[in-house]
Each structure stands twice: as C-alpha cells, then as structure tokens.
Structure 1
Amino acid sequence: MRLNDLDERIVHALAADARRSYADIGSEVGLSAPAVKRRVDRLRAEGAITGFTVRVDPVALGWETEGFIELYCRRHTSPDAIHRGLARYPEVASASTVTGDADAIAQIFASDMRHFEQVLERIAGEPFVERTKSVLVLSPLLRRYSSGAPG
C-alpha cells in the first residue's frame, strides 16, 4: 500500500503527537474531524498504521547505557531463529539483519556498564551465535521515529 499525500500528512501529524485530536489534525490538513477519523480507521484496517504508542526516554526507566551488538551467526541461521533468540531479552530495543560482515545487529539498553556486559555475554552464549562485536553509544545525536518519509 502506498499512502497518498493527504494520508501521509495525517500520519506525520499522528507520529509527532498521537494524542492530537482529529479536529486539530483536520485543521492542519484541510479536513473535518470525521473525515480524518475515517482515514485513520482505514489506514489502521489496511495495516499502514500498526498502532499508537508513547516514546519514553530510556534513562527515565533506569536504562542509562546504550550500545549495539553485531551478531556473527553460525552457518544456516535463519532470521527467524535470530528473532526468537533475541526476543527473550527485554534489553533488546531493536534488532535487524544487515549487510556486511555481521549477520544482524541489536540495539541494547542496560542499566549500567556491568548490566550491558551481562547481556552481551548472554547473547554471545546463544547457540546460533558464533561471535559478537559491540559498541557503546556516547551521545545520541539524532533520533527519528516512524513517521513516514521525511517531509
């Protein structure tokens, strides 16, 4: 499914603040509140909008250390096996298969350096993992959230 310009503007408005009223969004995009609601309902039904959420600063939850772990997996490890293995760790914020030498990369949030090291050791011990390489985030410079194509 490809969003038209109006739907994309509605999605951008919701991504910036999902608590905005349909009337407020409608005044921005030139539609009535009921028309915006109908479009949002359709976008949800078609799977373009998959849900609404809140973004929380990880530090507020006690997750003060952030890093990335590159996973180098044993031969014939499927993306599904990597997903199943990493899904058990609450510290894994995101994970993706990637191009390059590594097979996958996982974004980790931990309470401190020791906690990060423990998570790294546990992930490195997974049966599908051959080796890992990790980097720690010093300062996040830019974060963008799912709001469609840059506008």
Structure 2
Amino acid sequence: MNETIDATDVRILQILIRDAKRSNKEIGEEVHLTGQAVGARVRKLQDLGVIEGYTVKWNPDRLGLGLKAFVTVFLNSGDKHAAFRTFIAEREDVVEVHRVSGEGCYLMQVQTGTTEQLGELLEALLPLGNYRLSLSIGVEKSQY
C-alpha cells in the first residue's frame, strides 16, 4: 500500500465505492473526521490517481438491455488488432474489453436487448476472427 494512503483513506474510498453521492459530512461521521478533512482526503485520493472519476449505477433491464454476454475473441492474425480496436470503439453494445493472456486475444462484455442484436454483433465480428460466447444468467456481486 502507498505510504501516503492510510486506513482512514481506504475506509473513505470504500464508502464512496458503495455510494459516491454521500456527503463529506456523512462520511466524516463514519470515519470520525470533519467534512472538510474528508474533502481534503478525497482530493488527495484524486490527485494520487486512486479515484479516477465518478459514475452512475444503472439498471440496463429498465432500458431493454437485459441480455449480457461475454465474448472471447480469437483474432485471425496479428494485423487485426487495430481493426478490432476500431470495431469496439464504434459499438455501443460493447461495455468493456480486456486484452487477455491464455485462451483468446480479448474478452468482451456486451449488452444488448435481444438475441437478434447479439447475433448482429457477432456477425460483424466474424471478419476479424472467431469467438466463443457465454451468456450471463445472473450476477452474484458487483461493486459497480
């Protein structure tokens, strides 16, 4: 752990991960600091790059985007990486992409509303390589 980050900083971070809308005063009551002191620590965590930004937790099912899948991508050749990066940048249904070691080149998380939409994504992916598909049937725990 970084020397400039102590247990109180970690506790503040854990609170913000659960609910980033908590006020500095509320957080301070939990960690026994003033709201002003919490604000200073949060700014320090931002300056150190520990806190990179804030986001919204949302329910994709409410927007008709309830189909989540994980796609392991096997590119046809080494010169397809640039084309693949362009492909994912243009796709709104691609949520997250990891370049991985082991089996496959990339692991994509995708989110669509229907199996037809998922099929269209997979069809568009075929010129770049092959894939293995796993459908999500539930999430046990997510901190995001």
Partner of 2:17: 15
> Which aligned pairs between 1:74-89 and structure 2 lie closer than 5 A?
74-77=76-79, 82-89=84-91
Q: Secondary structure at the match of 2:78?
A: coil
Partner of 1:60: 62
1-side partners of 2:44 and 2:34: how far apart?
A: 16
How high is the sequence identity, in percent, across the aligned residues? 27
Aligned residue identity for 1:22: N
Decide whether aligned partners of structure 1 residues 99 and 60 sit closer, same or farther in structure 2, where only a CA change above 3 A counts.
Answer: same
Q: Determine if the alignment matches structure 1 residue 35 to structure 2 residue 37.
A: yes
Task: Judge which range, 84-93 or 16-25, deviates more.
Answer: 84-93
Aligned pairs, how many? 142
Partner of 2:140: 141
RMSD: 2.0
Structure 1 residue 77, shift from structure 2 partner? 4.8
- The TM-score with structure 2 as length reference comes to 0.88
Could you list the per-position Cα deviations for residues 47-89 of structure 1 after superposition, in whole angstroms to 9, with x for gaps in the alignment?
A: 2111111110111121021111111113335866644431221
Partner of 1:149: none
Decide whether aligned partners of structure 1 residues 22 and 72 sit closer, same or farther in structure 2, where only a CA change above 3 A counts.
Answer: same
2-side partners of 1:34 and 1:112: how far apart?
A: 48
Q: Determine if the alignment matches structure 1 residue 6 to structure 2 residue 24.
A: no
